[in-house]
Amino acid sequence: MKRKNHGLLFAVLLLALISLSPSEETTLIRSEDRGESQPVHPQEQQIQEETGQIRVAVQMDDSDFRRLDEMNRQFMDTYSVQVELINVPSTETYEAYQRRLMKLGESPDVLLMNNTSIRRFAADGYLLPTEGYYAGSLSGEVLGLSLLPNEWNGYVWGVPLDIDPYVFVYDVAQLKLFGLEQVPASEAEWTTLLTAYQKQNPDTPLLGLDYHDPYAAITLLWQLAGGAASEYTTFPFVAEEKVPLLVQQLELLRPGMVDLNGEQSFGADAWQPLLAGELPMILAPASEIGKQMVGTTSVSIWLPDIKPNMRTTWISGRSYVVSSQTDHPEAAGMWISEMTAALNQPRWYEATGHLPVIKTMYYEAGNPIMPNWVPPALAAGSGGALPAGPLLPRQMEQLAQATSTYLQAEINAKQYRASLIQIGK
């Protein structure tokens, strides 16, 4: 009798479990006539999933874009994803282009963005964190100085593609005339150079840079002031008490400064004075130098020392980000992973002159890809990297405006000093 009761209880429990289990019918929606159930597959969504169509917006010169287009075609030959590449005209401000598209709800799925802008767009809600689309590991794999600007609010908002440090190109023979073997590497050496320069003809060219480039300007100011301590995070500058000294140094240097064609892109003509022995130094992004100095042996390249507690040079960087409006985060992440893969990094550097972000490439002994002026210290930690806060783009615009007007003698040293102190306040 007891075994019969147990059997009956087991049957009741089994029927209860069957009634509670999700049946195939729960995943179907019946038609209006309550006939055969059909799974829901909207036609538009079906097509998008099969084609995997995404749009990618970048802003590059023609040669770099051609290389990206080649890589993209190889990607589409391998994966069932269609990618439309858009090269934003250089005449249009990239940030304005991004905001216009995003406000209209027409944002590309993927954008190539300068690292200085990423925190601002993340804070405005325009981006997806990388955890939502990127399957690889970023921490420990890519350069800390490249990853730091992409971190905000506990998340990473962009996958680094490359870096482009500002470096000095110099003529050793010309600098020897001022008692130096290379570019000044400290505040005292800049004083030595400027003192010797004043004793000679202070109207002869000494240093060329783009007057409208705030990153060249900030690198020069860091050098004149002996670097900026990393504890100053409100604005990527030097301590306020150092501003009078660096402006005084810059005032001595200004008569010997040459504008390398202002707002225009670097061209071969801008480099002729250096190559002809008429200009001792040029300060510019490394990628521009690589394009102009092919086959040249008469000059040297110097990257200011990377120090953990100092800022000595601006290191530009670009990262791929994914719009928060995308409908295809997986396809976007797949494309980004391929474009930033370790196999493509050296190819990208050879084609564009922008340095890779994979750490191991900096530690490989005898790596023929890496130029000899790049120190392994570039891959060690964040190296005084700048936390690119949401206000940074506006601050750099203010710096560019103040510096260009000063170098073009539209304001005096006192006015320039006041402008520097007010930036970020």
Q: Write down the pLDDT at residue 117.
A: 86
What is the tens place of the pLDDT at every residue in 88-129? 887 766 667 666 666 656 789 999 998 988 888 898 888 999
Q: Give the per-residue pLDDT at 278.
A: 84
| Most confident by average pLDDT, 240-249, 292-301, 359-368 | 240-249
Higher per-residue pLDDT: 405 or 186: 405
The mean pLDDT of 387-403, rounded to a whole number, is 81
For residues 289-305, average pLDDT: 75
For the chain, percent of residues with pLDDT exceeding 90: 37
pLDDT in the model for residue 385: 60
Q: Please give the residue that has the higher pLDDT: either 43 or 220.
A: 220
Single pTM value for the model:
0.82
Average pLDDT along the chain? 79
Give residue 364's pLDDT: 74
Answer yes or no: is pLDDT of 42 > 50. no
Handedness of CA 393, 396, 400, 406 (dihedral sign): positive
As a whole number of angstroms, the distance between CA 352 and CA 349 comes to: 5
Longest Cα separation, the chain:
118
Partners of 29 in the β-ladder: 38
Q: What is the pLDDT of residue 184?
A: 93
**pLDDT score of 134 more than 70:** yes
Q: What was the pLDDT predicted at 101?
A: 63
pLDDT band at 291 (very low <50, low <70, confident <90, very high): low
Count of Cβ atoms closer than 10 Å to residue 162 Cβ: 22
pLDDT band at 275 (very low <50, low <70, confident <90, very high): confident
Band (295; pLDDT cuts 50, 70, 90)? low
Whether the pLDDT of residue 271 is over 90: the answer is: no
Mean pLDDT computed over 82-89: 91
pLDDT at position 9 is 39
Which of 18-22, 87-91, 400-404 shows the lowest mean pLDDT across its residues? 18-22
Rg of the chain (C-alpha set): 28
